[in-house]
C-alpha cells in the first residue's frame, strides 16, 4: 500500500480521510443526478443539518468523557413541545423562550449526569431510561394541553430565529450557519484553550489518573452532561423555528444518526480523543447522503429508504476501521519494542 494511503487509513488524524470521502460522495451524486450541483440544493443541504450539527456537538462532550447519552433526541423532542407551549400558552417572547428551553435542557442533562456520577449507573442504561421518560413527558404535554393539539407556529418573529439570512435581501448566509459557527468556535476555544476543557480530555483518557491529578472527575462529567442537554435544547428550538412545527415525535430516530456522526467523526467511544472538525465533516457526510438519496430516487429505482441501511453500514464501517487501526497500531508498537 502507498504510504499516504496507509497514513489515511491507519493515521491518527482521520479528518483528511473524511474530507476525501465527502468529496467523493459529492462527486458521485453530482454525476449521477441532474440537480444535485445547484445553489438551491446547496442551501437545502445546509438547511437540513443545523439541528443535527448542534446535537452532535452536545453528544461529543459526553463521548469525550467516555460515556454515551441516548436521551439527547428525546430532550430535543421535549424542547420542541416546550417551545410551542411557552409560545402559545405562556406567550413568552423569543428571548425568554430560548432561555427557558435551554435551562430545561440543562436540567435534563443534569439529571442524567447526577444519576451517572452519584449512583454510578452505566451511562447507556441511564439514558435509555431517561430517553423513555423524557419522550413520555413530551407526549403527555402534547396530548393533554388543548392548545398543543396543533403544534404549528406561524409568527415570523419566532420563525426568524432560524429563518433569517445575512444580509436580509440577498439571502447569502443563513442564520443557522452562524449558530453552528459560533457554537463550534466557542467549543473549540473551550475544549482546547481552557483548563476545564483540557480536564474533559484528561477524564476521558484515564479517569483514575485524572482523579489522582486532583481533577474533580464527577464535576467535569456533570458539566459535560449539562452542556449536552443545553445544546440539544437549542437544537430543538432551531428545528421548531425551521419547520414552524413542534411535535412530540420530533427527533425520535435522531440519536442513531447523531451517534453515527460522532463516531464517524473520529471521536473515540472510550473517551479522551476527538476533534470538532471531524464531527462537523461527518455531519456534512450524513447530510449529503440523506439529500443525495432523494435525488438518486428521482433518476433511478433505488428506494429512498436505503439511506437508513447506508447509515448503519457507515456506522459499522467507522467502528470496524477504528478496531482494525487499533490492532494495527498495537502490532506496530510491539514490533518497535
Partner 1 sequence: MKVIGTKITTNTSLFLFLGFLVILFSFTSEHFLSPYNITSLLTNISYSGIAAIVLTLVMISRGLDISIGGVIGLTTVVVSALYSQSDPLPIWLILTIGLGVGAVVGLINGWCITVLDMDPIITTLGAMAITRGLAYVISDSQSILMFEETTDFISNGVIFNVPIPILLFMLTALIFSIVLHKSKFGRSIYAIGANEVSASLSGISVNKTKMILYVLTGIAASVSGIILLGQTSVGMPQHGIGAELEVITAVLLGGTALSGGKGTIYGTIAGVLILGVLFNGLTISGVRYVHLQIFQGLLLLVAVATYEIKTRNEVAR
Contact residues for partner 1, defined by CB under 8 A: 68, 115, 119-122, 124-126, 128-137, 139-140, 143, 256, 259-260, 263, 269, 303, 305-313, 315-316, 319-320, 323-324, 326-327
CB of 257 to partner 1, least distance (A): 8
CB of 13 to partner 1, least distance (A): 21
CB of 29 to partner 1, least distance (A): 19
CB of 8 to partner 1, least distance (A): 19
CB of 242 to partner 1, least distance (A): 24
- Measured in degrees and rounded to the nearest 5, phi and psi for residue 166 equal -110, 130
Residue number with CB closer to partner 1 (121 or 294): 121
Residue number with CB closer to partner 1 (47 or 129): 129
Residue number with CB closer to partner 1 (148 or 177): 148
Residue number with CB closer to partner 1 (143 or 209): 143
Residue number with CB closer to partner 1 (174 or 246): 246
Residue number with CB closer to partner 1 (97 or 260): 260
CB of 4 to partner 1, least distance (A): 25
Amino acid at each position: 500500500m502507498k504510504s499516504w494511503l496507509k497514513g489515511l487509513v491507519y493515521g491518527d488524524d482521520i479528518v483528511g480521510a473524511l474530507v476525501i470521502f465527502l468529496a467523493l460522495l459529492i462527486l458521485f451524486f453530482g454525476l449521477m443526478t441532474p440537480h444535485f450541483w445547484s445553489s438551491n440544493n446547496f442551501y437545502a443541504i445546509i438547511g437540513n443539518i443545523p439541528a443535527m450539527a448542534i446535537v452532535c456537538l452536545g453528544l461529543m462532550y459526553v463521548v469525550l468523557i467516555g460515556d454515551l447519552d441516548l436521551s439527547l433526541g428525546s430532550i430535543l423532542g421535549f424542547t420542541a413541545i416546550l417551545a410551542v407551549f411557552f409560545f402559545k400558552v405562556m406567550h413568552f417572547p423569543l428571548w425568554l423562550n430560548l432561555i427557558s428551553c435551554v435551562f430545561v435542557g440543562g436540567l435534563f442533562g443534569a439529571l442524567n449526569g447526577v444519576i451517572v456520577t452519584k449512583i454510578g449507573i452505566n451511562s447507556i442504561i441511564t439514558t435509555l431510561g431517561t430517553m423513555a421518560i423524557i419522550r413520555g413527558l413530551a407526549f403527555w404535554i402534547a396530548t393533554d394541553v388543548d392548545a398543543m393539539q396543533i403544534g404549528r407556529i406561524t409568527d415570523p418573529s419566532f420563525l426568524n430565529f432560524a429563518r433569517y439570512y445575512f444580509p436580509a435581501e440577498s439571502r447569502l448566509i443563513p442564520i443557522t450557519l452562524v449558530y453552528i459557527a459560533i457554537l463550534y468556535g466557542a467549543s473549540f476555544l473551550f475544549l482546547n484553550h481552557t483548563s476545564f476543557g483540557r480536564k474533559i480530555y484528561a477524564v476521558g483518557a484515564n479517569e483514575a489518573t485524572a482523579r489522582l491529578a486532583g481533577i474533580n472527575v464527577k464535576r467535569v462529567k456533570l458539566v459535560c452532561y449539562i452542556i449536552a442537554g443545553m445544546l440539544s435544547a437549542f437544537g430543538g428550538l432551531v428545528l421548531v423555528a425551521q419547520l414552524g412545527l413542534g411535535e412530540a415525535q420530533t427527533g425520535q430516530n435522531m440519536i442513531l444518526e447523531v451517534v453515527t456522526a460522532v463516531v464517524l467523526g473520529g471521536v473515540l467511544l472510550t473517551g479522551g480523543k476527538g476533534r470538532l472538525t471531524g464531527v462537523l465533516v461527518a455531519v456534512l457526510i450524513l447530510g449529503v447522503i440523506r439529500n443525495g438519496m432523494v435525488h438518486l430516487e428521482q433518476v433511478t429505482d433505488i428506494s429512498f429508504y436505503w439511506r437508513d441501511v447506508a447509515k448503519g453500514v457507515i456506522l459499522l464501517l467507522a467502528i470496524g476501521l477504528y478496531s482494525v487501526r487499533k490492532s494495527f497500531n498495537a502490532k506496530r508498537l510491539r514490533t518497535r519494542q
